C-alpha cells in the first residue's frame, strides 16, 4: 500500500478508541503497577523507613552519650567533694591525735618527774635513817669508850651499858626535838 493511498483512506474518528490498543494499554499499565506496587515501592519504603530509623537512632545514641557524660561528670564532682571532705576530716583527726599525744606525753613526763622526786626523797630518808643509826652506834661506842676510860672497867656489863646509852641518847633526841618544836 502506498502512502498516497494511505492518506486517501478515511481515518477513523480519533476519539473512537480501538479496542486492541485499549487492552494493550491497560495490560502495559498493570504490569508497571503490579511490579512497582508489589516489589519495588515496598522495597524503597523499607529502605526509607530504615534510613529514618537510623537517623533517629543516631540522635538517640548521641543524647544517651551526652547524658552519660553528664552523669560521669557529676560522679567525678561528687567524688572530688568527698575526697576534700575526707582530707579535711583526716587533718582534723591528726590534729586531735597530735594534741592528745602531747597531752599524754606531758602527763607521762609529769608522772616520771614526780616518781623520780619521790624516789629521791625516799632515798634521802633512808640514808638519813641509816646515817642516824650508824651515828647512834658510833656515838654510843665513843661515849662508852670515853666513859670506860673515865670510870674504869665498871661498865663492863653490856646490858647495862646499852640501856644507859640508849636512855642517854633518847634524852638527847627528846631535847633536840623539843628545841626544834620550840623554834
- Footprint of another protein (CB under 8 A): 1-4, 6-7, 9, 11-12, 14-22, 24-26, 28-29, 31-33, 35-37, 40-41, 43-44, 46-48, 50-51, 54
At residue 9, φ and ψ (nearest 5 deg) are -55, 150
Question: Which residues, in sequence order, are CB contacts of 155 under 8 Å at separation 6+?
Answer: 144, 147, 148, 161, 164
CA distance 6 to 9: 5
**Smallest distance from another protein to CB 26, Å:** 5
**Smallest distance from another protein to CB 31, Å:** 5
CA distance 179 to 65: 104
Beta strands in the chain (DSSP E): none
Q: Which is nearer to another protein, 55 or 78 (CB)?
A: 55
Q: Which is nearer to another protein, 18 or 182 (CB)?
A: 18
**Smallest distance from another protein to CB 5, Å:** 10
**Smallest distance from another protein to CB 25, Å:** 4
Q: Which is nearer to another protein, 5 or 180 (CB)?
A: 5
Grid coordinates representing 50 are: 530504615
**Smallest distance from another protein to CB 62, Å:** 18
Grid coordinates representing 124 are: 634521802
Length of the chain counted residue by residue: 183
**Smallest distance from another protein to CB 55, Å:** 10
Q: Which is nearer to another protein, 4 or 181 (CB)?
A: 4
Q: State CA 24 to chain mean position distance.
A: 92
Q: Which is nearer to another protein, 54 or 92 (CB)?
A: 54
Closest CA to 165 of 157, 178, 176: 157
Q: Which is nearer to another protein, 7 or 159 (CB)?
A: 7
Answer whether 169's CB lies under 8 Å from 139's CB: yes
Amino acid at each position: 500500500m502506498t502512502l498516497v493511498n494511505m492518506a486517501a483512506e478515511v481515518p477513523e474518528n480519533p476519539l473512537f478508541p480501538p479496542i486492541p490498543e485499549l487492552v494493550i494499554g491497560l495490560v502495559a499499565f498493570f504490569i508497571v503497577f503490579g511490579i512497582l506496587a508489589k516489589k519495588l515501592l515496598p522495597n524503597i519504603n523499607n529502605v526509607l523507613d530504615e534510613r529514618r530509623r537510623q537517623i533517629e537512632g543516631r540522635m538517640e545514641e548521641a543524647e544517651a552519650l551526652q547524658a552519660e557524660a553528664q552523669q560521669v561528670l557529676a560522679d567525678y564532682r561528687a567524688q572530688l567533694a568527698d575526697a576534700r571532705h575526707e582530707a579535711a576530716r583526716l587533718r582534723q583527726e591528726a590534729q586531735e591525735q597530735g594534741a592528745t599525744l602531747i597531752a599524754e606525753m606531758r602527763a607521762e613526763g609529769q608522772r616520771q618527774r614526780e616518781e623520780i622526786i619521790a624516789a629521791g626523797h625516799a632515798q634521802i630518808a633512808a640514808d638519813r635513817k641509816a646515817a642516824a643509826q650508824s651515828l647512834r652506834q658510833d656515838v654510843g661506842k665513843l661515849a662508852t669508850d670515853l666513859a670506860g676510860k673515865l670510870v674504869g672497867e665498871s661498865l663492863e656489863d653490856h646490858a647495862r651499858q646499852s640501856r644507859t646509852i640508849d636512855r642517854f641518847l633518847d634524852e638527847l633526841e627528846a631535847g633536840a626535838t623539843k628545841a626544834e618544836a620550840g623554834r
